[in-house]
């Protein structure tokens, strides 16, 4: 298997969506540009959601309009419904670059799905399949995340077979990628190994698997390594470990980009990302947020071996 991993930087979307103080459009654009300069090549830059539900994302179109037209970079817009896909398509109109990918989300829990997106699992599967087909027909890359795949804040454990069944059904719409998300940070490595293995067996090899972990209970980095060992070669992370879901009680941040890059670098796994540059972005953005960011590497720095 390849010893290279693609990191999807989700700081500008998932990292900020739960922050009570609004971050300016220009600071979001600057964050994305600095992460690109550090070597990141896939970034979740905004979500096309109602501003009343997630005020931090009210400037989605303005952020996207200000991004550099770098052909080596892929921009992802999160979409929770068909209206979101139409906004993603609109971001590309009039000769504008816009987003390259639509990220759809199906929640693996009826209770959480109804609170988060107003949908049961069955409704979410049907809606997201239609969204994927629409996006693909209009020339966008379409991928889907199965949220709450490792546990639900309202229902508790989520059966593995349910996730396998959702993944198999979503695969029929032929997304480029299916992501398994530990939205509330309850997963452990053994669970990751089992779930990734079961889903990999259930969906065509042409569909990439991705993993998205939160560090709520300090297992996120271990889970990322377990996903890598199980064959996942695309991992999400957020600068500084920022993040959290507005609709999940006590949800805390994603695994930190710099912490994950350190783990992979020291394990001989290439990411193409400059760790020192990401740590520098951490320190800069801590000034924007007026507080230190949660990541370990932001505090400890990298590891320099004496000559």
Residue 307 is assigned to a structural domain of this protein = no
Q: Which of 79, 104, 152, 245 is catalytic?
A: 245
User: Are the CB atoms for 18 and 245 separated by under 8 Å?
Assistant: yes
pLDDT at site 307: 55
Number of domains in the chain: 1
**Backbone phi, psi, residue 45, to 5°:** -100, -20
pLDDT, residue 10, reads 98
Domain CATH code at residue 237 = 3.20.20.70
- Say if residue 247's pLDDT is above 80: no
In a domain, 168, yes or no: yes
Asked whether residue 115 carries a pLDDT value surpassing 90, the answer given is: no
Averaged pLDDT for residues 271-282: 98
In a domain, 289, yes or no: yes
Q: Is residue 306 part of a domain?
A: no
H or E element, residue 89: helix 82-90
The DSSP 8-state label assigned to residue 255 in this structure reads P
Average pLDDT over residues 27-33: 98
pLDDT tens, residue by residue, 117-144: 889 999 999 999 999 999 999 999 999 9
Rounded to a whole number of angstroms, the distance between the first and last alpha carbons of the chain is 33
Q: For residue 66, what is the DSSP state? A: T
pTM of the model: 0.95
Per the domain annotation, does 192 fall within a domain? yes
Residues 184-241 pLDDT 10s: 999 999 999 999 999 999 999 999 999 999 999 999 999 999 999 999 999 999 999 9
Residue 49 CB-half CA count within 13 A: 22
Is 42 within the bounds of a domain? yes
In which domain, by residue range, is 76 found?
Answer: 6-300
Question: Is 305 contained in some domain?
Answer: no
Active site residue 104: no
Task: Report d(CA 70, CA 97) in Å as an integer.
Answer: 9
């Amino acid at each position: 298997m390849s010893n290279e991993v693609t990191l999807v930087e989700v700081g500008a979307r998932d990292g900020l969506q739960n922050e009570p103080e609004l971050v300016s459009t220009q600071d979001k654009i600057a964050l994305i540009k600095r992460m690109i300069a550090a070597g990141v090549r896939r970034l979740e830059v905004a979500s096309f959601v109602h501003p009343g539900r997630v005020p931090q994302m009210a400037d989605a179109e303005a952020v996207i309009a200000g991004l550099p037209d770098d052909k080596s970079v892929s921009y992802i817009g999160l979409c929770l419904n068909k209206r979101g896909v139409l906004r993603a398509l609109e971001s590309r109109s009039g000769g504008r670059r816009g987003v390259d990918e639509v990220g759809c989300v199906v929640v693996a829990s009826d209770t959480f799905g109804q609170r988060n997106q107003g949908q049961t699992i069955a409704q979410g599967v049907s809606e997201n399949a239609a969204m994927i087909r629409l996006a693909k027909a209009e020339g966008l890359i379409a991928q889907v995340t199965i949220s709450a795949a490792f546990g639900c804040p309202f229902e508790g454990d989520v059966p593995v077979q349910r996730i396998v069944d959702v993944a198999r059904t979503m695969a029929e719409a032929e997304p480029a990628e299916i992501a398994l998300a530990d939205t509330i940070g309850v997963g452990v490595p053994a669970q990751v190994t089992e779930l990734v293995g079961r889903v990999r067996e259930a969906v065509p090899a042409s569909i990439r698997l991705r993993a998205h972990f939160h560090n709520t209970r300090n297992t996120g980095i271990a889970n990322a390594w377990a996903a890598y060992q199980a064959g996942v070669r695309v991992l999400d992370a957020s600068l500084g470990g920022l993040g959290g879901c507005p609709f999940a009680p006590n949800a805390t941040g994603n695994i930190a980009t710099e912490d994950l890059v350190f783990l992979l670098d020291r394990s001989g796994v290439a990411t193409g990302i400059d760790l020192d540059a990401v740590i520098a972005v951490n320190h800069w953005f801590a000034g924007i947020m007026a507080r230190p960011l949660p990541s370990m590497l932001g505090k400890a720095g990298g590891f320099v071996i004496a000559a």
